[in-house]
Amino acid sequence: MPPIDLEAVNELLIGGELIRKEAALAPDKPGVYRMIGTDSEVLYVGKAKSLKKRILQYAQGRFHSNRIARMVSLTREMVLVRTETEGEALLLEARLIKSLKPRYNVLLRDDKSFAEILVRKDHEAPQITKHRGSHSIKGEYYGPFASTQAVNRTLDTLQRAFLLRTCTDSVYASRTRPCMLHQIKRCSAPCTGEISLEAYGELVKQAQTFLNGKSRAVIEDLSARMMRASEDMEFERAAHLRDRMRALNHVVMSSSVGLNEAEADVFAVHAEGGYACVQSVFYRAGQNWGDRAYFPRVDISDSEGDILDAFLGQFYQDKPVPKLVLVSHGLSEPDLMMEALSLKAERKVQITCPQRGEKLDVVQHALNNAKAALGRRMAEQSAQSKLLQGVAEIFGLETPPTRIEIYDNSHLGGTHAVGGMVVAGPEGFMKGQYRKFTIRDLDTVAGDDYAMMREVFRRRFLRLKNRAADASEDEGFGRPDLVLVDGGQGQLDAVLGVMDELGMSDIKIVGVAKGPNRDAGMERFFMPGRLPFMMEPKSPVLYYLQRLRDEAHRYAIGANRQKRAAAMTKNPLDEIDGIGARRKRALLQAFGSAREVGEARVEDLMKIEGINAAMAQKIYDYFHG
């Protein structure tokens, strides 16, 4: 009897039959399962205390919603992954949901990185600065701050209270006299020795004590030092300590919320009509460090507890977990969630749904904000859907676009040329999918807008073509329904040529040219096979398209300014191998600027401490080619 071809059998099994076969083979152990449909689309990711028992529930055919029944009917394959504990399964489930974005899972969207405060420890005089992204720099990180305003406000306070430097290492190394921040008592100027490194280190420790939630201890210490200075008749020093103490008192009094815990996160959810809002509030150091509203993708059958279950697992995948998490609704498995978060944080984490007291007041306030935010969101989406329907009618699209890409270029006299891609959809601007393109084709003539646009389109859509199987919108390179190009017939012809070369001429592309004297409302629109046309000056759709065009313009100009600013602060000495901060500082103190260093003779360079004959010759050769 020939062996059974299991792959051939699996091809014949779909839906419930396939799941029953998988249930028979599944282990009675914790793990994660993936339900996969046609074209390898991941439909759903779930976790289970027992994979066998959980999968059997699907195989029995008794579903609590039509949505689950539909998901089962579409299943063509299942992938099972065993874990040691159910807590590990929960963490793996959240990680897979975040990366795969299955159609039938509650999905956290708009998950941008939060701003943090970083006290760097890779320098003799630690810098305090705002930080986003991975913790790749050696130092202490404090956050999250839900808004830029919150982190800027706290940084401003720390500057005034602790006089910590915020300048970059290159600026620090090049200083020969204190900067303006020292003059206005916002920095203690360790760069020029106005304060010893030991005394500066004490200021850093005080700032960290404050950020760790011990603000009262820091304020009491400053108060005692102020009184001693006053008793010693050092009135100027006493006034300086008083101003520092006032700065700390101001931030403590203005942001304190009465929670006894030094750190806590609050999550309140409100669901209505198949939409949901999760309002998050972050408390650190006994202070409110801001809030943010999230609008996860949910189903009308999902309860508030189910939404919070899925949300928390995904939210804390790449964020620090506090000691206390307050929620507005009870979780389905709170002990399991606490086990998973404690495993990630490597310490005990408590999750509480408060019923009385100050914690309930904080959660109720967040819940009221969630209700208000969801109401605004639903109203905005209703108006947005009408605008997208109008866009489809004007440009001849069969359905309202779900992804619009807008392109613009920016340069200054042909230098620091950059292209910008802005993305918009039914929920507004999708800022996490914006992309910058540094113009790097050496054959492009400086300021040639057509050539720059061709390069941007070739790079962007070649990537889409080469990765057609897995290029997802979440990576910022999904397939657009409509493309808008800032410019007229010339720019349109340039990009159409690129699209023809790539075999992607089926994507709808429109050129948007500014009106005479750049008058808003007088824009002309260019499309292949159609005469240029204008819209009614007061048309809401025209206003919407102007907003898209202006956002692309703003984004491209911002990218160009960033490149110019980086070029202005770049010091030629940084390019010389062997020139570190100490040698660089000695050279600048001796000669005044990098230009003067470049004009110096080898003999003069050798007179500088730390510069031997070989290094002096290397510096000279660098500037003289």
pLDDT band at residue 443 under the 50/70/90 scheme = low
Amino acid residing at 574:
D
Calculate mean pLDDT across residues 480-495. Answer: 92
To the nearest whole number, what is the mean pLDDT of the chain? 83
Quick one: average pLDDT of 579-595?
A: 82
If you average pLDDT over residues 578-585, what whole number do you get? 83
Predicted pLDDT at 251: 59
Six token digits for residue 492: 């349109």
Report d(CA 605, CA 608) in Å as an integer.
Answer: 6
More confident: 308 or 212: 308
Mean pLDDT computed over 105-128:
82
Which among 317-321, 433-437, 482-486, 621-625 has the top mean pLDDT? Answer: 482-486
Tokens of 486: 């800032």
Rounded to whole angstroms, the Cα distance separating 13 from 167 reads 64
pLDDT (0 to 100) of residue 256: 46
Residues 6 or more apart whose Cβ sits within 8 Å of residue 521: 515, 537, 538, 542, 546
Tokens encoding 342? 């404690």
Q: How far apart are the first and last CA of the chain?
A: 80
Distances (CA, A) of 390 to 398, 401, 520, 540: 11, 10, 19, 9
SS3 536: coil
pLDDT > 90 in the chain, percent? 20
Identity of residue 371: K
pLDDT of residue 3: 46
* DSSP per residue, 35-101: EE-GGG-EEEEEEESSHHHHHHHHHTT--SSHHHHHHHHH--EEEEEE-SSHHHHHHHHHHHHHHH-
**Closest of 378, 389, 448 to residue 414, by C-alpha:** 448
Can you list the positions of beta strands (E) in 462-617? 482-486, 508-513, 524-527, 530-533
Q: Which residue has the tokens 């986003």?
A: 132
Pairing of strands 508-513, 482-486: parallel
pLDDT at 399: 92
What average pLDDT does the segment 349-367 reach?
A: 90
Q: What is the pLDDT of residues 37-51, one digit of tens each?
A: 887 888 999 998 888
Helices (H), 163-214: 169-174, 180-183, 197-211
Distance of CA 527 to the CA centre of its chain: 35
CA distances for 468 relative to 43, 334, 339, 477, 480, angstroms: 19, 41, 40, 10, 12
What are the pLDDT digits (tens) for 289-346? 778 888 988 888 888 998 998 899 888 887 888 889 999 999 988 888 999 899 888 8
pLDDT at position 523 is 86
Residues of the chain by 3-state class (helix, strand, coil), percent to 5: 50, 20, 30
